[in-house]
Structure 1
Amino acid sequence: MRTIDPSCMRKAPILSAPVPPREPLPFFKYLRTMHDNALAGFHEDAFRQPIVEIKYWRLHTFLVSDPDAIRRVLIDNAGNYVKGLVEQRGTTTGSARNFPRPDEAEWRQRRRTMASSFDYGSIKEHSPVIVDAASRMSTRWSTFPRNTIVDIHTEMANLTMGIISRILSPSNFAELDQVMQLVSEHKGGEAILDPIDFVPMLDVVWKIYRRYRRRRVFRRIESAIDRVIESSAKEKVSSQNPFFERLLQQKDPNTGGGLDTRAIHDQIITILGTGHETAALALMWTWYLLSQHPTQEARLHAELDELLNGRAPEFADIPKLRYTRMVLEEALRLYPPTHTLPWRGALQDDELCGIKIPKGATVSIVPWVLHRHWRLWKHPERFDPERFSADRSSERSLFAYLPFGIGPRVCIGSTFVMTEMVLILATLAQRFRLRLAPHHVVEPQGLISLRARYGMKMTLENRS
């Protein structure tokens, strides 16, 4: 492991993050804190111990940050740990019957069906759309007056939204833009834990309300998707939409016929979720980190200038943009958009790190904690893209870094998202650098996604 000069440590900027409380928070303060910002509810031991038990009345969960234990939960004994619903995260009562038992065969079939949308050929096919959209943004930015201040999250969200819309439906992307905005506002802005989850007398009413609210939102989403499917079926005749042409040609592995409406909806919603919000948030945090680290920013610019020399990046350039990718991977470590993986309920007793996990308890794996754990990372609070060099990555367990999860349920769109982010960053960073706007407060807020509470106001600077 490379040693770090202490003098460099003193010069390293202090990055925005909640200060962990020294002791576990009292029950009601814990609820309020987790509802407002899930990142702020973890006390110091969570970042230093391999496993921490969290027990508050109806909530009994184990926060796991040991790579071997994570491997057991997600792979070796995954059948014992059932992925639960959001509303069940805070309402376990000690019975494994509270956890839904998913139809694994159905899930695997849907996974196989979606795989072709994220294979090498599909991603390569979509890369010109990504570069073209980023180039259009670069051209638009170049028309802005000097020292224009933008909210970079809004800019990146609009960019990734447009990319996914044009991939899915080139002639009907405006409709999908509205759908994605609706999904983003509804899902990303939800709290990960709600105090009402702990009020027994409201259990039934609260769950009915949540289901009603989701159905109302998703009815609008599905109606819009139906219109896109109908429009894209017509586009198929003139081969203007290769994505839908391939999608409509897929066969159901059981029936041998074409995909039903639900399968097509599943594919589209998965692509909307992985290619839009995750990429936009990761890019926002990347721009913030680069603005605070001029040395690393200069090295990124040097790689882009040497390899691209002012031209637009291409899919074939991605393996050569090593430092660009390392910057993004380090940003995903420090500020993972999916800061908490879905909680899992134990169907039977088990043991992790020598600690008994009783039947009915939940297990929580939190990338925000895992990626900042003092047992796994040297100076985890520092921005150091070199952590992801080939040599240093080989020294690290695969289960210490989970921005997209791992195992059978790893995010199916992770390769597409990384490709999208590398091409966007390479396109824009050739011409621009961004500086945090004066007096702007940066506060990471852990809701369903890792957002910036006050947005991310930054000043655009033209490198030339």
Structure 2
Amino acid sequence: MHTTLTTPRPPPFPPGPANRFGGLPLLRQMGRDYLGTVEHLHAAHGDAVYARIGPERTFDFFHPEWVREVLVDKARSFIRWERGTAVFAEVHGQSVLVTEGEVWQRQRRMLQPGFGPKRMAAYADWMVAAAGEALDALPRLPEHTLDFEPLMTQLTMDVVLRTLYGHAVGPDGRAEALAAARAVQTISLDGMQALFWPASLPDWLPHKWPVRQAKHRLDALVRRHIAQRRQEAQAGRPAQDDVLGMLLAARDEQGDQGAQNTLSDQEVRDQCMTIFLAGHETTAAALTWWGHTMAQNPDCARRAQAEVDQALGPRPPQYADIPALPYLAQTLKETMRLYPPAASLISRRSVEPVQIGPWQLPQGALVRVTPWVLHRDGRWFPEPERFDPERFSEAGQAAQVRGSYLPFGTGPRVCIGSLFAMSEMVLVAAMVLQRFSLAPAASAPVQPRLNVILRPAGGMPLRLRRRQNL
């Protein structure tokens, strides 16, 4: 008598929390502490978690192979989560961050040349000029304490204004830049709260007045520059070689010849808004956390500082210097592993039944990927809480598991500005280390807080010790 061995079939869906009260308690927990809740789901149920939240069938994936299936291999089976894109569209409009399908492909084609290596040298000059002015304006004291977060926030806002509009920010403009930075943070806080509601509250409600004002401030800023540039073009002035000039001159050479192959004023406004918001806030957050990791790890900071001294001496950096600063880049990449600015909410909706790992997801499933959890998994990054820039040396990166590190996302919708952001961070970090050594200024640990972007709750107090050579 022969016994037929059969392979057990996996359950239809992954394990997950009990469906109590339609999943509303779980949704409430996510609203209060999204990262902590998702960490708990992973610890309790494993690399794939299924949960019902109201009518939604949700899947969290924490294994790099399954993450790549969602974001890369089977990306065509998914679109962005509609609620997330609706929240972003309230400020960004129909930009490359929001759109799908052929519209997104057209926008991506038209924007891509503006963020390639050929344009980085010119952008780098503006980055260095903005960083130099911000750092040189600090008190000329041997040592002083400051909140590093607003310094990096205002600096990166200055960078994005210069690269977008091609001119330095004067005294009046600095006040405008600071007000714009505050408006961005107001909008981010409101956006994070809105993600956990089925619809946004109207801006005319009294308690939404700060949000309404913040949106108006940013919209007016962007539209004013577009109108001014159109007037200059009508007056016969030559086009400027900045991001706005690139957007106004962009042509879609691959699209249908019968379709519009330039960007309308509204499309230019929307792309400017995304570049303005995403190009400023994520970089500011990454540099803020980098200051924290340098202060907490003085041996790594000294090694990065020695590299900067050898490559640059006292002169300002240039784009061509970036390859000579590999260890400094490693400290930034390791910082973004521990504190990814976009720590969560890479969300997708399946547009057809699709198999991920051993599970068959139905059409309409909501899938979440959380870089915070992936980056802190000891299977992919041994001793994950330890700051170790060697993880991003050539050998370290070669040994990494694909899909385990997602500071800029991955797949077709990987961040279009990743080269811009990394270039800016290396240049700014080099200039900080040329001038200062960093040390903690508070004994209490800094707590991360997620408001779309991961920022420190209560700021980032640091002691800046001015180096004697400057």
TM-score, normalisation: structure 1: 0.82
Partner of 1:182: 183
Taking a change above 3 Å as real, the CA distance of residues 89 and 179 of structure 1, as seen in their structure-2 partners, is: closer
Q: Is the counterpart of residue 209 in structure 1 residue 210 in structure 2?
A: no
2:290 corresponds to which of 286, 293, 301: 286
Q: Distance in 1 between matches of 2:295 and 2:190?
A: 26
Q: Distance in 2 between matches of 1:256 and 1:359?
A: 33
Taking a change above 3 Å as real, the CA distance of residues 102 and 291 of structure 1, as seen in their structure-2 partners, is: closer
Partner of 1:104: 101
Partner of 1:36: 32
Partner of 1:241: 240
Q: Distance in 1 between matches of 2:168 and 2:464?
A: 31
Partner of 1:275: 279
* 1:60-97 deviation per Cα after TM superposition (whole angstroms, max 9, x unaligned): 3211122221222112221222211336999xxxxxxx
Partner of 2:57: 60
1:81 corresponds to which of 73, 78, 81: 78
Letter in 1 for 2:150: T
Partner of 2:91: none
How far residue 375 of structure 1 moved from its aligned partner, in angstroms, is 2.3
Letter in 2 for 1:41: T
Mean alpha-carbon deviation: is it higher for 286-295 or for 62-71? 62-71
Q: Distance in 1 between matches of 2:118 and 2:86?
A: 38
* 1:7-34 deviation per Cα after TM superposition (whole angstroms, max 9, x unaligned): xxxxxxxxxxxxxxxx999866544442
Q: Distance in 1 between matches of 2:465 and 2:102?
A: 52
State how 1:218-229 maps to structure 2 within 5 Å: 218-229=215-226
Partner of 2:316: 312
Mean alpha-carbon deviation: is it higher for 220-229 or for 153-162? 220-229
Letter in 2 for 1:157: T
* 1:147-181 deviation per Cα after TM superposition (whole angstroms, max 9, x unaligned): 42211110000000011112222458535664454
How far residue 235 of structure 1 moved from its aligned partner, in angstroms, is 5.2
The question of whether the paired residues in 2 share the 8 Å contact of 1:291 and 1:297 is answered with yes
Partner of 1:260: 264
Q: Distance in 2 between matches of 1:67 and 1:192?
A: 28
State how 1:59-458 maps to structure 2 within 5 Å: 59-86=56-83, 103-141=100-138, 143-170=139-166, 173=169, 174=173, 178-188=179-189, 190-191=191-192, 197=197, 206-207=199-200, 209=202, 218-234=215-231, 238-239=237-238, 241-243=240-242, 244-253=244-253, 254=257, 255=259, 258-458=262-462
* 1:33-60 deviation per Cα after TM superposition (whole angstroms, max 9, x unaligned): 4223321112446169332223344443
Where 1:343 maps in the other structure, the secondary structure is strand
How far residue 295 of structure 1 moved from its aligned partner, in angstroms, is 1.3
Where 1:311 maps in the other structure, the secondary structure is coil
Taking a change above 3 Å as real, the CA distance of residues 53 and 463 of structure 1, as seen in their structure-2 partners, is: farther
Q: Distance in 1 between matches of 2:133 and 2:307?
A: 22
The question of whether the paired residues in 2 share the 8 Å contact of 1:176 and 1:225 is answered with no
The question of whether the paired residues in 2 share the 8 Å contact of 1:151 and 1:457 is answered with yes
Q: Which runs of 5+ in 2 are unaligned?
A: 1-16, 88-97
The question of whether the paired residues in 2 share the 8 Å contact of 1:38 and 1:445 is answered with no
Taking a change above 3 Å as real, the CA distance of residues 428 and 364 of structure 1, as seen in their structure-2 partners, is: same
* 1:399-427 deviation per Cα after TM superposition (whole angstroms, max 9, x unaligned): 11111111111111111000000000001
Letter in 2 for 1:295: D
Give percent identity, aligned residues only. 30
Where 2:146 maps in the other structure, the secondary structure is strand
The question of whether the paired residues in 1 share the 8 Å contact of 2:35 and 2:344 is answered with no
Q: Which runs of 5+ in 1 are unaligned?
A: 1-22, 91-100, 198-202
How far residue 217 of structure 1 moved from its aligned partner, in angstroms, is 5.4
The question of whether the paired residues in 2 share the 8 Å contact of 1:89 and 1:193 is answered with no
Letter in 2 for 1:249: A
Letter in 2 for 1:53: Y
Bigger RCO of structures 1 and 2 (CA < 8 A, at least 6 apart): 1
Q: Distance in 2 between matches of 1:109 and 1:439?
A: 50
Where 2:306 maps in the other structure, the secondary structure is helix
TM-score, normalisation: structure 2: 0.81
Mean alpha-carbon deviation: is it higher for 245-254 or for 272-281? 245-254
Aligned CA RMSD, in angstroms, stands at 3.0
The question of whether the paired residues in 2 share the 8 Å contact of 1:314 and 1:423 is answered with yes
